[in-house]
C-alpha cells in the first residue's frame, strides 16, 4: 500500500476515523531530513498492511500543522482511534519507526 496524501479535506476520514494505526509524516519539499526520511516511510507503507501511512505537506496544510503542534519537521505522529499516541521529530531510522508503531 502506498502513502496517502493528506489534507484538511481528507484527514478526518483517512486518519481520525481509520480503524488501523496511522503513521503520519509531516514534511516539506525544502527540508533535507524530510527527503532522507521519505524512502523509509515509503518502505514501511509498502511492507505493513496492518497500518496506514499518510503524508502531510506542511507548506500546503498550515491548519493541520498548527492543529498538531508541528514546530519542527520532519515530525512523525502515530494515531490510534483518532488520537495521537506517539510523536517524534527529526530523522528516524527504519527500526526506530517500527518501534514507534509498537505502542
User: Could you tell me the three cell numbers for 38?
Assistant: 521519505
Going by the DSSP 8-state scheme, the letter that residue 70 receives in this structure is: -
**Active-site residue list:** 31, 34
Look at the domain 4-101 and name its fold.
Answer: Glutaredoxin (3.40.30)
**What local confidence, expressed as pLDDT, does residue 59 receive?**
97
Chain segment 39-88, per-residue pLDDT in tens: 999 999 999 999 999 999 999 999 999 999 999 999 999 999 999 999 99
Bond from prior residue into 98 cis (ω within 30 degrees of 0): no
Give residue limits of the domains in the chain: 4-101
User: Could you tell me the three cell numbers for 9?
Assistant: 479535506
**Considering the entire predicted model, what is its pTM?**
0.96
Amino acid at each position: 500500500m502506498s502513502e496517502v496524501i493528506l489534507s484538511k479535506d481528507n484527514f478526518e476520514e483517512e486518519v481520525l476515523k481509520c480503524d488501523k494505526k496511522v503513521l503520519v509524516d509531516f514534511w516539506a519539499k525544502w527540508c533535507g531530513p524530510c527527503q532522507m526520511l521519505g524512502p523509509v516511510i515509503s518502505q514501511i507503507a509498502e511492507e505493513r498492511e496492518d497500518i496506514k501511512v499518510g503524508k502531510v505537506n506542511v507548506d500546503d496544510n498550515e491548519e493541520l500543522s498548527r492543529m498538531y503542534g508541528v514546530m519542527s519537521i520532519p515530525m512523525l505522529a502515530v494515531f490510534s482511534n483518532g488520537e495521537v499516541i506517539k510523536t517524534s521529530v527529526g530523522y528516524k531510522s527504519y527500526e526506530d519507526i517500527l518501534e514507534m508503531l509498537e505502542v
